[in-house]
Structures are given as C-alpha cells and as structure tokens.
C-alpha cells in the first residue's frame, strides 16, 4: 500500500469532484490517500511531498491560466516532486472536445512542466462543467463569456448544466497512476 497526496485548486467545484473520484479509485486499489483543496489551507500548512510515495496535482483552467494555489504548490515543491511518482491533471473547456485534449495537454500541462523544469509520470486534461442554470454560481461576466462561446458551440446548452467530464477517462488516469506504485 502506498501513501498518495492529491492536491488541487478548483473554481466552481468540478476539479474537486474529479480529485475526489481519483482518490476513490486509488483507495479502492488499497492506497492511503490524502486529498487537499489548496485554497482551504494556508500554504505554510500544505503537506510536504516528502511524506508521500506519490503526488497528484490538479488545477482548473480559466482564461488559459492555472489556479494560483496549485501553481504555487508545483513551484514550491518541484524538486521534491521530481523524486516521486507524480501526476498532473487539469480541467478546462478545451478538453471538453476529445479532439482538443492533446492541445490542452500541451498548452496547460507541458508548459508548466517546462517552466518548472520537471516531469511527471502521467498527465491528462479533462473537460469541465459550464453551469448556465438560473442558480449558477458563475458570475454574470463568466456567464456572458460562456454564452458567447455557446453561440459557436452547439454542445453548450443555455439554461442547463453542461457537464463535459468523461468519468471513464478520469478513472483510467487514476488506474494508470495506480500501476506506477
């Protein structure tokens, strides 16, 4: 049994739900897994990767940018992560289209890996969620931006919860990580 740390940053909860699913798969495989939403803990209290056999970092992407907390975690811990089994995932609109996943990996993961000069054993980009319901937690500006995108994308339905996460892909990522340990 290995000890695994999953840290993530989420804007509206979809990335957190993905991290939770990955955690559940790994626990079912017999691993001890700690999951942490980095926004809910001061960076001084973030756990050290040194105490784990494997690390997974997840971030939502908005306007082409990682959440600041996972990016800070990677920057702060890149040396320690180099010596561990490691994985990264992002949740982004681009990955809602399976044909765009390779581009999302390049734009949102490989650039970070190159910037901080380290590599991971497994990484993937997952589609996210666009909540365009009346009770959406998206701000008016974000809804307006997504509605403009929706005008060009027939897969985005106005007034609905648009969930582009592929749970089989997410579980496959977790299973691939499990095989590393």
Chain region(s) in the chain for CATH 3.40.50.360: 3-128+164-180
Q: Which CATH number applies to 3-128+164-180? A: 3.40.50.360
Number of C-beta neighbours around residue 30 at 10 A: 10
C-alpha torsion 138→141→146→150, nearest 10: 130
Q: Which of 102-116, 120-134, 138-152, 160-174 has the lowest mean pLDDT?
A: 138-152
**How far is residue 20's CA from residue 15's CA, in Å, rounded to a whole number?**
9
When pLDDT is averaged across residues 93-111 and rounded to a whole number, the result is 95
The neighbouring-strand residues paired with 4 are 33, 54
How many CB atoms lie under 10 A from the CB of residue 36? 17
Q: Which of 51, 44, 39 is nearest to 7 (CA)?
A: 39
Q: What is the pLDDT of residues 24-62, one digit of tens each?
A: 999 999 999 999 999 999 999 999 999 999 999 999 998
Residue 107's CB is within 10 A of a number of other CB atoms, namely 17
Q: What's the distance, CA 47 to chain centroid?
A: 18
Residue 149 has pLDDT above 70, yes or no: no
């Amino acid at each position: 049994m290995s000890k695994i740390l999953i840290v993530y940053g989420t804007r509206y909860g979809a990335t957190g739900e993905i991290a939770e699913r990955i955690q559940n798969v790994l626990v079912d495989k017999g691993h001890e897994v700690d999951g942490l939403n980095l926004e809910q803990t001061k960076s001084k209290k973030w756990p050290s990767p040194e105490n784990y056999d494997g690390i997974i970092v997840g971030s939502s992407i908005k306007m082409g940018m990682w959440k600041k907390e996972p990016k800070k975690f990677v920057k702060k811990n890149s040396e320690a992560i180099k010596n561990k089994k490691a994985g990264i995932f992002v949740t982004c609109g681009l990955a809602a289209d399976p044909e765009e996943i390779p581009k999302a990996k390049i734009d949102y993961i490989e650039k970070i890996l190159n910037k901080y000069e380290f590599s991971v054993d497994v990484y993937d980009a997952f589609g996210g969620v666009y909540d365009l319901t009346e009770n959406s937690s998206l701000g008016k500006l974000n809804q307006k931006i997504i509605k403009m995108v929706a005008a060009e994308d027939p897969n985005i339905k106005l007034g609905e919860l648009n969930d582009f996460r592929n749970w089989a892909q997410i579980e496959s990522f977790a299973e691939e990580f499990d095989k590393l340990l």
